Chains A and B, each alone.
Chain A
Amino acid sequence: MTDVVFPVISQSDPDAEGTLATWFAEDGAVVAEGDLLAEVAVDKVDMEVVAPVAGTITLIEDEGAVLRAGALIATID
Chain B
Amino acid sequence: MSIDTTQQPATEGDPAEQPAAAPATKRLNTAKAMVEAIAREMERDEDVFVLGEDVGAYGGIFSSTTGLLDRFGPERVMDTPISETGFIGAAIGAATEGMRPIVELMFVDFFGVCMDQIYNHMAKIHFESGGNVKVPMVLMTAVGGGYSDGAQHSQCLWGTFAHLPGMKVVVPSNPADAAGLMTAAIRDDNPVVFMFHKGIQGLPWMAKNKRSIGPVPTGDHVVEIGKAATARPGSDVTVVTLSLSVHHALDVAEELAADGTADVEVIDLRSIVPLDTEAIIESVTRTGHLVIVDEDYQSFGLSGEIAARIAEHDPTILKAPISRVAVPDVPIPYARPLEYTALPTPARIKEAIIGQVAPA
Q: Give the interface of A toward B (CB within 8 A).
A: 19, 21-22, 24-26, 29-30, 32, 34-36, 39-41, 44, 46, 63
Q: Does B112 contact A (CB under 8 A)?
A: no
Q: Which of A24, A34, A40 is B213 in contact with, Cβ under 8 Å?
A: A24
Q: Does B83 contact A (CB under 8 A)?
A: no
Do B205 and A41 touch across chains, with their CB atoms under 8 A apart?
yes
Q: Does B116 contact A (CB under 8 A)?
A: no
Do B11 and A26 touch across chains, with their CB atoms under 8 A apart?
yes
| 18 chain-A/chain-B pairs, Cβ below 8 angstroms | A21-B204, A22-B29, A22-B213, A24-B28, A24-B29, A26-B11, A26-B12, A29-B12, A32-B7, A32-B8, A32-B9, A35-B5, A39-B204, A40-B204, A41-B204, A41-B205, A46-B63, A46-B203
Number of A-B pairs whose CB atoms are under 8 Å? 40
Q: Which residue from chain B places its CB closest to the CB of A32 in the assembled complex? A: B8
Sample of 15 further A-B pairs with CB below 8 A, known A24-B28, A36-B26: A19-B204, A21-B204, A22-B213, A24-B213, A26-B11, A29-B12, A30-B9, A32-B5, A32-B7, A32-B9, A39-B29, A40-B204, A44-B205, A46-B203, A46-B205
How far apart are B36's CB and chain A's nearest CB, in angstroms? 10
Do B204 and A22 touch across chains, with their CB atoms under 8 A apart?
yes
- Inter-chain CA distance A52–B275, complex, in Å, is 45
Q: Which residue from chain A places its CB closest to the CB of B27 in the assembled complex? A: A24
- Inter-chain CA distance A25–B28, complex, in Å, is 9
Do A36 and B9 touch across chains, with their CB atoms under 8 A apart?
no
Chain B's interface size range is 10 to 19
Do B204 and A35 touch across chains, with their CB atoms under 8 A apart?
no
Q: Does B202 contact A (CB under 8 A)?
A: yes
For the complex of A and B, the 7 pairs showing the least CB-CB separation, nearest first, are: A21-B204, A41-B204, A24-B27, A46-B204, A32-B8, A30-B9, A44-B205
- Inter-chain CA distance A44–B12, complex, in Å, is 30
Do A29 and B11 touch across chains, with their CB atoms under 8 A apart?
yes
Q: Does B1 contact A (CB under 8 A)?
A: yes
Q: Which residues from chain B contact A22 at a C-beta distance below 8 Å?
A: 29, 202, 204, 213
How far apart are A34's CB and chain B's nearest CB, in angstroms? 7
Do A26 and B205 touch across chains, with their CB atoms under 8 A apart?
no
- Inter-chain CA distance A19–B203, complex, in Å, is 13
Do A34 and B1 touch across chains, with their CB atoms under 8 A apart?
yes
8 Å CB interface, B1-39 against A = 1, 5, 7-9, 11-12, 26-29, 32
Q: Which residue from chain A places its CB closest to the CB of B8 in the assembled complex? A: A32
How far apart are A61's CB and chain B's nearest CB, in angstroms? 15
- Inter-chain CA distance A36–B28, complex, in Å, is 9
- Inter-chain CA distance A25–B13, complex, in Å, is 11
How far apart are B114's CB and chain A's nearest CB, in angstroms? 28
Q: Which residue from chain B places its CB closest to the CB of A47 in the assembled complex? A: B204
- Inter-chain CA distance A40–B203, complex, in Å, is 10
- Inter-chain CA distance A30–B7, complex, in Å, is 12
- Inter-chain CA distance A31–B26, complex, in Å, is 10
- Inter-chain CA distance A46–B32, complex, in Å, is 13
Q: Which residues from chain B contact A21 at a C-beta distance below 8 Å?
A: 204
Q: Which residues from chain A contact B29 at a C-beta distance below 8 Å?
A: 22, 24, 39
